[in-house]
Each structure stands twice: as structure tokens, then as C-alpha cells.
Amino acid sequence: MNPIPSDRPTPATRTCPSPRATGIAHAPIVITVAALVLALAGCTAVPTPAPTLPGGLRIAGPDGKSVTADARMLTAVAAFPTTNPADPGTFAERGEFPLPDSTRPAGFETYSWQHLLDDASGTTVRFALRDGDPPRAWVDDWVVDVAAGRYGIEVAPIYVEAPGDVAAQLAAEKAAGVAASEETTGTIDLLWIDDASFGALADGGLLYGPWTGYTPSRRYLDPKDGWLKRTFGRDVGENALAWGRTHFVLLHDPTRLPAPPPSWPALWSWIEANPGRFTYAAPPDPVGSAFVRQACIALAADASIFSQPYDAATAEAALAPCWTQLEAIAPMLRQQGRPYPQAQAEVDDLFAASETDITMRYGPPPRPVDGGGDASPEGRAAVERAAALAGAHAFALEGGMLSRVHFLAIPFNAPNKQGAIVLANFLQDPEAQFAKLGPENWGDPTVIGPHLIPETWQATYAEVATPPNALAEDVVAAQRVAEPSPAWVEAIDAGWARFVGGGAAGSDGAP
């Protein structure tokens, strides 16, 4: 794996007293280029009153450049309300403290960030994620190692087949009274939310919060970027931390289809002119469902209706053009849609076998796999599928492509909330976001603002090239469409099954 550049050189240390300790205590302050260090006259073994603070101090900023700051402001900004600026607990991770309006998480009101780091060290964070690679290999190979070496945190990934399984488990634990205590304890500390489940989790009281306002890495999020604050029509508040971006894209083989359709009307015309060369997976397959949702949004007379609360009567009229169009192309699909593929892997296999010319995905770019010596038909199919997808080119359609942000959250009964907060903060910082961005690791677009990170990292990010099987961020920004609420998602899936899928399967699917 390629080494990840760091703006943190080998640290030097010195010891100073901490007011959290009883009696005499010595705690390390790590001084680095990235650290904001308070220049103090000296430290003794006995806590001393706060010294007279100068009006301004010259300190090293995160990019290594010297800046002037009011020492009183630095102390006030720090998370721990101490009168002793020599306390290393007034500084966050290696001198990076939370922003002035930080909100301390429930249960940690008297904690500094350093105190939180200390408590997290030596603990295990059980991290629930949707199974699949990516992100499995990157989490196992990079996150686990770096979290252990840097924070003393053992990351124990829990891979689940469907994100809904986690929501069901948390609901069952809440109903059974399983709380974060010594008597009964939860089973998950940190949760990846990569679907429409946030609303149900929040409404069910299954999430801990607020907590994200206290993470130092939030300084790298652009406060003007509204995409980082909502998912499937719901505000996340300070109960979930943005981790990455997901885009719906179409893929084509440039040797078979040099000029793909540029718009949704052009796609319908291409399908009619090329019978049997296109298909999609039946909802509720996540990718097939996304294709249908995006088609319905593109075909609606007023696409803004999908950003409004769901109403059955309004939805019936708004979705009618979609069912008409999808019914019209059904005879032109591969095998006339009889039956529709039941999973996106089947669609990808058809594309890899050159039986279709277009496939799709809702996530990061696919990567080649070596198969690990698996000579079975399934193993060979996986290798061929991955190779075909890795060599495909992504394209967007004028009229919009679904896009969303995925998040990290902490369950209500997580026994190791401090470890979860520290790990989530790390997963959002420039180093982890850069590692996640690399197509050889995950290829997941970053949520941090490149203009908000240290200059050394800005140059590193600028060197990342967009692979052909991914869309450039400017293209995504021009075409992205927000996901509707879960109620809309369910209604669209149900409507497709009633008006489109049923008829294709041989039953009466007429409206």
C-alpha cells in the first residue's frame, strides 16, 4: 500500500502539570508542526496559578506557518474549562483543539479532548459496516492498523449483509432494555449509515447524541455544504458525522459504445434502438432501486415534489409518467425483462459477458481482483466481472444523477462511546480521508473541503486524478440530485412492483 503523507513530523515532548490529576502529576504535551502550542515559561512538579497571558502569541498553525493568536482565546476555545493554560488537557489531539462552539457529548461534559483520547486508549471499538470490498479490505488493512498504532484503539469490524439488520438489532436491544451499563451492554460502538435508515434510527431513539460538534476534524467540513447535513430528506444534526459521498453513475465499455446517451430522453431512445442491450435489477436491489428512483425524478413534471414530505395522492400523479416510460421500454430490455435480474451482480455479469452495453453502480469505482486462486465458476465470474467494471467508463445523464453523503453514528447503548468518538474523528481527518479517496483503497470521495485543510495536504489532494470509471467532482456537482425521504423510496419500490415488475413477470401489472 502506498505510504500516506503526513504533515506531522516526529514529535518532541515535555511535561507539565494537569489540574485533573490529584496531587502531583505529569502529562505529556506533544509538540509538532500541526500542533497549536502555548509557549509557557516553564513547568514544575506542583500545579501553579495561571500565568499572566500576553495579548498575542506566535504559534505554529496546522500548515506549519506562524500565526498570531490571543492566548486567552486559545484557553477559552479548549474543551476543558480550566484556569491553568499549562494543562495539556486544554489542548485536543496533539494540540488540535475543538472549535469555539464545541458541544461536549453527554456523559463527557467535563472532559477535554485529551482526556477523551486517554480514556479511548486501550479500548475496543466494535465498528458495524455493510459487507463488501470496498470498504472491507481498506478497513481491515489500514484503519485497524493505524487506529491501533496511533490511538491504542483496537478496531473490531462487524460486517453485515444489509444495513437494515443493524437497525433491527438495535431496536430489539432497546426493547429488551439492553443499555450501555455493566449489567447489560450494547454490541456496537460505531455504525456506518449508508442507506435510508437514519430517520428510523433517530425516531426510534436508537442513536447517541449530540456528539459530532466536539470532534476536532469537523473544522475541515465546509459549513456552507448542505449535503453534509442531510440524508434522505432528514437533518442529521450533531448525531451523525459525514464520512464520504456516494454517486449513482452509469458505466459503458468505450469499445462497444463509444458515445453513450447524454441525457435521460436520449437513454430511452437508445434502449428502443438497441433492443436487448440494456437491463436493470428489480427493486428493492439497492442499485436497481436507485435507477428507478432517478428515472422517476427525471420524468416528473416537477422534480421538487420529491424533496417534499410524501403524500399518497401527490405521489400517484407525480409517478405516473415514470411507470408509463418504464413499461414502454420493458419489451426492449434483455429478455424483455422476463425476468428482471434480481441483483446488480447479475447485471454486471451480463455487461462483463458483452451481452449488454451499459451497467450502473451506486458507490465507489470497482477494482480488479485476482480471485485468490479460486477456479470455481463463481470465482472466475467474479474476476471477469471486476475486470470489466474496472475498465468501464462512467458517464452522467443530463437531468440529474442521485447523490448522497454517508455517515458515522453511535448507537444509544454503545459501551465505548469515547472510543467511537475518537475513531470517527480520525476517519474524518485529512489523512484518513485521503487514504479512503485512493482508488486502490476504496475510491470513496471525500467530505472535507480541500480549501480548509493544511496547505501540505491541499497539494497532495490536488494530485489525485479521477479514474475513467468515476466521475469528476465538477460533473457530479452539476448533475447531483438529492435522495427523497424513505417514505418516497418505499412508495417508488412498491409502485414499480405493482405497475412495472408485476407485468414483466407475467402477471397483470396494468395500472
Same domain, 224 and 251: no
Please state whether 59 falls in left (phi above 0), alpha (psi between -120 and 50) or beta: beta
Same domain, 395 and 412: no
Is 351 in contact with 253 (CB distance < 8 Å)?
A: yes
Binning pLDDT at 50, 70 and 90, where does residue 374 land?
Answer: low
Same domain, 170 and 286: no
Same domain, 27 and 54: yes
Q: Quick check: is 373 in a domain?
A: yes
pLDDT for 71-130, tens place per residue? 333 333 333 333 333 333 333 333 444 555 667 788 888 888 888 899 999 999 999 999
**Helix (H, G, I), strand (E, B), or coil: what is residue 318?**
helix
Same domain, 412 and 490: no
Minimal CA–CA distance to 386: which of 134, 183, 190? 134
pTM of the predicted structure, to 2 decimals: 0.76
Backbone angles phi, psi at 158, to 5 degrees: -120, 110
Which of 39, 62, 97 corresponds to the end of one domain?
A: 97
Is 283 in contact with 501 (CB distance < 8 Å)?
A: yes
* Length of the chain measured in residues: 511
Q: Quick check: is 269 in a domain?
A: yes
DSSP code string of 94-141: GG-PPPTT--PPTT-TT--HHHHHHHHTT-EEEEEEE-STTTHHHIII
Same domain, 268 and 390: yes
User: Within its chain, how far is the Cα of 40 from the centroid?
Assistant: 40
Separation CA 31–CA 34 (nearest Å):
8
**Residue 36 pLDDT greater than 70, yes or no:** no
Q: What are 249's three cell numbers?
A: 453513475
pLDDT for 485-497, tens place per residue? 999 999 999 999 9
**Residue 11 pLDDT greater than 80, yes or no:** no
Same domain, 394 and 417: no
Same domain, 289 and 344: yes
Domain with 276 in it = 247-402+481-504
Q: Quick check: is 475 in a domain?
A: no
Q: Quick check: is 351 in a domain?
A: yes
Same domain, 222 and 307: no
Q: Quick check: is 106 in a domain?
A: no
Number of domains in the chain: 3
Rg (CA), the chain: 26
Same domain, 61 and 80: yes
Same domain, 254 and 223: no
Q: Quick check: is 148 in a domain?
A: yes
Same domain, 458 and 378: no
CATH of the domain at 418: 3.40.190.10
Q: Could you give the percent of the chain with pLDDT greater than 90? A: 52
Q: Quick check: is 91 in a domain?
A: yes
